[in-house]
Amino acid sequence: MIDKVHAVIARFEELGEIMQAPDFASDQKRMAEIGREYTDLRNKMPKLQEYIDTVSGKEESEQMLNEESDPELIAMAKEELADCKDRLPALEEDVKLLLVPTDPTDHCNAILEIRAGTGGTEAGLFAGDLLRMYELYAATKKWKVEVLSSAYGEQDAIKEMVLLISGENVYGTLKYESGIHRVQRVPKTEAQGRIHTSAASVAVLLESDDVEINIEDKDLRIDTFRASGAGGQHVNKTDSAIRITHIPSGLVVSCQDEKSQTKNKARAMKVLQARLLDEETRKQKEADDAARKSLVGSGDRSEKIRTYNYPQGRVTDHRINFTAYNLDQIMNGSLQPFSDALAQADMQDRMANSDNA
């Protein structure tokens, strides 16, 4: 492991030299990529250096015990050796995690899609609760949230909501939210007071701006239509809504939230690009991970990942058996404990597979 640590430090020093080159700022995209890698490694340096110093201290103490005859120096060496041995196990675990490569897409923005699942109107109301939860969580992270597309049913229940979330490390934080979210509670629509189970699906897609997705015009069918909505709204009076069909994949994206047909088309294209990128990424991941299935990183849209149990006030993530008994706080945006636990589990999983590679 010490060789890997030295390699990381050498890479950090190499990046520092690259950033000092006169022509470094001439390529903005390359500058951003190298800047992010440099910052990531710089944050790891203190712990990596501490590990190297501790390993060196242990080796020097052992050498001193073999070579020295002075009782005072021997006593100092024994004390130093014991201290190093005490600190090394925890340091080694920390360093193993730090050596797992950071996903280069973690810094990117994300497109968050929420859809009502089984459960009728109650599922749509729960989808609305999830929307509010993510919006409040985004506010705690100082992320920007923009609605790209929306569709509502009865009682303002959400059929579908598509958001663009921008900020620091958005995709890296939210990527574990993809899957089926299940709720157990007495619905507002239930007069008998019985507990029902409903569901909503969440998909977190990588915004494709930083990744080249080639979409040819001949592969698209673009239709305009008069959008549905509450009576009297402008959307009912003009053909401003856009429906884009990507013919090779069969993907269909609609957008009707803007008054402008041009803006709706731009938003629909952004969502289409993200979905195509997601398909490519998942196919590649399936090929790369054919021999294993990651604990939390599979991104399986049909997987039941979390249950929100209102009668017991608990939320359970089934992938890592993580349960919290503060449902009200979680629904008010306190998602960080789940984000941290999922990221840690994913890191441990990738570290184990890296060791076995």
58-82 pLDDT per residue, tens: 999 999 998 888 888 899 999 999 9
Strands (E), the chain: 110-116, 144-152, 158-166, 179-185, 196-206, 220-225, 241-246, 251-255, 304-309, 314-317, 322-324
CA 285/CA 323 separation, integer angstroms? 28
Report residue 110: phi and psi, to 5°.
Answer: -135, 150
Kindly tell me the burial class for residue 302, based on how many C-beta atoms sit within 10 Å of its own C-beta (0-12, 13-18, 19 or more): exposed
CA 48 to chain centroid: 25
Note the pLDDT tens digit of each residue in 295-353.
454 444 567 999 999 999 999 999 999 999 999 999 999 999 999 999 989 888 877 77
| 19 vs 320: CA distance, rounded Å | 40
Q: Which helix (H) or strand (E) holds 355?
A: helix 336-356
**Side-chain half-sphere of 285: how many Cα atoms within 13 Å?**
13
The closest of 137, 181, 184, 130 to 157, measured between CA atoms, is: 130
So what's the pLDDT on residue 313?
Answer: 96
Say if residue 291's pLDDT is above 80.
Answer: no
How far apart are the C-alpha atoms of 157 and 126, rounded to whole Å? Answer: 8
Q: 22: exposed, middle or buried (C-beta count within 10 Å: 0-12, 13-18, 19+)?
A: exposed
Note the pTM of the prediction, 2 decimals. 0.72
Domains with residue ranges and CATH for the chain: 2-99 (1.20.58), 106-289+298-357 (3.30.70.1660)
